């Protein structure tokens, strides 16, 4: 399962002049925080557990960032720093981290961000024969970028510049990589100029066009724009999902994997919401804990199973809240009138306190009147799901 990511942090950033004279480009502040925080947070919310920062220039500053990373602590991610022994290029930086690479990993440029589903690079070409599956982004003016040409989902060629002025499909700096890549690397090489074109010539590179927000902070114009555009993009609409009766069949107090059965279209619905850029939250009353039918550890194990099965479908839930309390609990420790128990809005409000949520553009999908009441109390729209295919329901709402 894809759990490791590597981020290229070693470039000199010469086009930004004095800004990068003594600071790695990914550590420049954007919106009041290091740009690298954006990439780290995206990895964290997509469920990545390990991040390797590929460093060279001012590597000690990258090490200091890794040791102090609030984002890594928030998501419980392990962070390592791999330093190339000399100026080895982007391919060389990856080569020198080969001993700690997983069998499959995500590779990101440290100076650009495509707001996309990081688990979505799973097309058929990659599963069949590709060594690299990459994200591509069409932009209106591709003149300062290298561009790629597709034959279906396979990259036919990489061009240093477009064949003509205007729009083009550019490398978005996100790659899903198999460890077979190391047979194609040398201690000093460029991943973009040397490795990818050679692999493409052999039909070993797949690409998935994406339409999400894209920014590269490598020049002064885009770096300045990023100060406003990036923070604005990080405030997202959210979809809050009730669990039993919406995500899975409601068999009554579902507290174990063997009793969990997906609602038809639920995984596809969550994947579609991920692809559209929504935050996806699970908010569920779990009175089975209060009744002594199962424990909180059982809930955590079940939710880990849910995330694992979603991951296999290229999807994820960003965060989960559950309420184990009930005023008539059989277990005294859980006998409580809790603001988190729907129809009260505590779970939704807590999520909105911990995430940047565009409340006005958000909604909740539930199957009970208590769900809709909780949504109303939290100031978000509520939609009643009466059963059937959840993906079709989400599509009818215009969310997918």
Write out pLDDT tens, residues 246-298.
Answer: 999 999 999 999 999 999 999 999 999 999 999 999 999 999 999 999 999 99
Active site annotation includes 244: yes
Is 51 within 8 Å of 79 (Cβ atoms)? yes
CA distance 26 to 24: 6
* Dist CA 353 CA 368 (whole Å): 24
The tokens for 232 are 């604005």
Cα–Cα distance for residue pair 390/246, rounded to 1 Å: 7
Eight-state DSSP code of residue 2: -
Q: Provide the whole-model pTM.
A: 0.94
Secondary structure class of 227 (helix, strand, coil): helix
Question: Is the Cβ–Cβ distance between 135 and 174 less than 8 Å?
Answer: yes
Encode pLDDT of 132-164 as tens digits. Answer: 999 999 888 888 777 898 888 889 988 877 777
pLDDT of residue 237: 98
Task: Please tell me what DSSP assigns to residue 154.
Answer: E
**From 115, 242, 275, 367, the catalytic residue:** 242
Residue 360 confidence (pLDDT): 97
Task: Give the integer Cα–Cα distance in Å for 214 and 207.
Answer: 16
| Positions of the chain with pLDDT under 70 | 122-128
The gap between the terminal CA atoms of the chain, to the nearest Å, is 25
Q: What is the bridge-based pairing of β-strands 29-30 and 112-114?
A: unpaired
For residues 43 and 34, the answer to whether their CB atoms sit within 8 Å is: no
What gap in Å lies between CA 310 and CA 223, rounded to an integer? 35
Q: Is 386 exposed, middle or buried (0-12, 13-18, 19+ CB in 10 A)?
A: exposed
Q: What is the pLDDT of residue 376?
A: 98
Tokens of 316: 């994820």
Q: Which residue in the list 111, 244, 275, 318 is annotated as catalytic? A: 244
pLDDT the model gives residue 122: 60
Query: pLDDT per residue over 105-120, tens digit each?
Result: 999 999 999 999 999 8
Q: For residue 262, what pLDDT is reported?
A: 98
Place of tokens 């700096």: 173
Q: E strands within the chain? A: 4-8, 29-30, 33-34, 50-55, 78-83, 104-109, 112-114, 132-139, 147-151, 154-159, 168-178, 205-210, 214-216, 238-241, 279-285, 319-323, 363-366, 381-384
Q: Measuring CA to CA, which residue among 277, 357, 279 is closest to residue 318?
A: 279
Q: What one-character DSSP code corresponds to residue 190?
A: -
**String of DSSP letters for 26-90:** GGSEETTEEHHHHHHHHHHHTT--EEEEEEBTBHHHHHHHHHH-HHHHHHT-EEEEEE-SS--HH
Asked if residues 158 and 130 have their Cβ atoms less than 8 Å apart, the reply is no
**What pLDDT does residue 124 have?**
53
SS3 283: strand
Assess whether 242 carries a catalytic annotation.
yes
Give me the pLDDT at residue 127, please: 63
Cα distances (Å, whole numbers) of residue 17 to 30, 36, 59, 89, 259: 16, 19, 19, 20, 59
């Amino acid at each position: 399962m894809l759990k490791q990511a590597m981020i290229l942090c070693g470039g000199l950033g010469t086009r930004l002049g004095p800004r990068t004279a003594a600071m790695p480009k990914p550590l420049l502040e954007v919106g009041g925080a290091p740009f690298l925080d954006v990439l780290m947070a995206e990895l964290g919310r997509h469920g990545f557990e390990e991040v390797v920062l590929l460093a060279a220039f001012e590597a000690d500053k990258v090490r200091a960032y890794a040791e102090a990373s609030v984002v890594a602590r928030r998501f419980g991610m392990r962070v390592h720093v791999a330093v190339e022994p000399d100026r080895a290029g982007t391919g060389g930086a990856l080569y020198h981290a080969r001993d700690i690479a997983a069998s499959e990993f995500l590779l990101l440029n440290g100076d650009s961000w495509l707001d996309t589903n990081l688990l979505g690079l799973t097309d058929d070409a990659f599963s069949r024969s590709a060594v690299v599956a990459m994200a591509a982004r069409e932009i209106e003016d591709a003149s300062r970028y290298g561009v790629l040409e597709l034959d279906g989902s396979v990259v036919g060629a990489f061009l240093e510049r477009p064949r003509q002025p205007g729009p083009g499909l550019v490398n978005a700096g996100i790659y899903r990589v198999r460890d077979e890549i190391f047979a194609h690397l040398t201690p000093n090489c460029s991943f973009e100029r040397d490795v990818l074109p050679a692999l493409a010539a052999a039909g070993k590179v797949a690409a998935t066009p994406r339409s999400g927000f894209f920014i590269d902070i490598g020049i002064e114009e885009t770096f300045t724009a990023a100060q406003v555009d990036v923070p604005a993009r990080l405030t997202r609409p959210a979809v809050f999902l009730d669990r039993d009766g919406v995500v899975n069949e409601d068999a009554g107090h579902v507290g174990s994997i063997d009793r969990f059965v997906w609602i038809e279209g639920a995984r596809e619905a969550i994947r579609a919401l991920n692809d559209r850029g929504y935050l996806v939250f699970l908010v569920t009353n779990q009175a089975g804990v209060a009744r002594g039918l199962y424990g909180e550890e059982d809930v955590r194990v079940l939710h880990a199973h849910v995330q694992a099965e979603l991951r296999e479908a290229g999807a994820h839930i960003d965060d989960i809240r559950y309420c184990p309390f009930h005023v008539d609990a059989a277990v005294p420790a859980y006998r409580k009138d809790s603001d988190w128990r729907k129809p009260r809005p505590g779970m939704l409000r807590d999520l909105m306190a911990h995430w940047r949520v565009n409340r006005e553009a958000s909604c909740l999908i539930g199957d009970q009147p208590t769900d809709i009441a909780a949504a109303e109390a939290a100031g978000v729209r509520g939609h009643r799901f009466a059963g059937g295919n959840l993906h079709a329901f989400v599509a009818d709402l215009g969310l997918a």
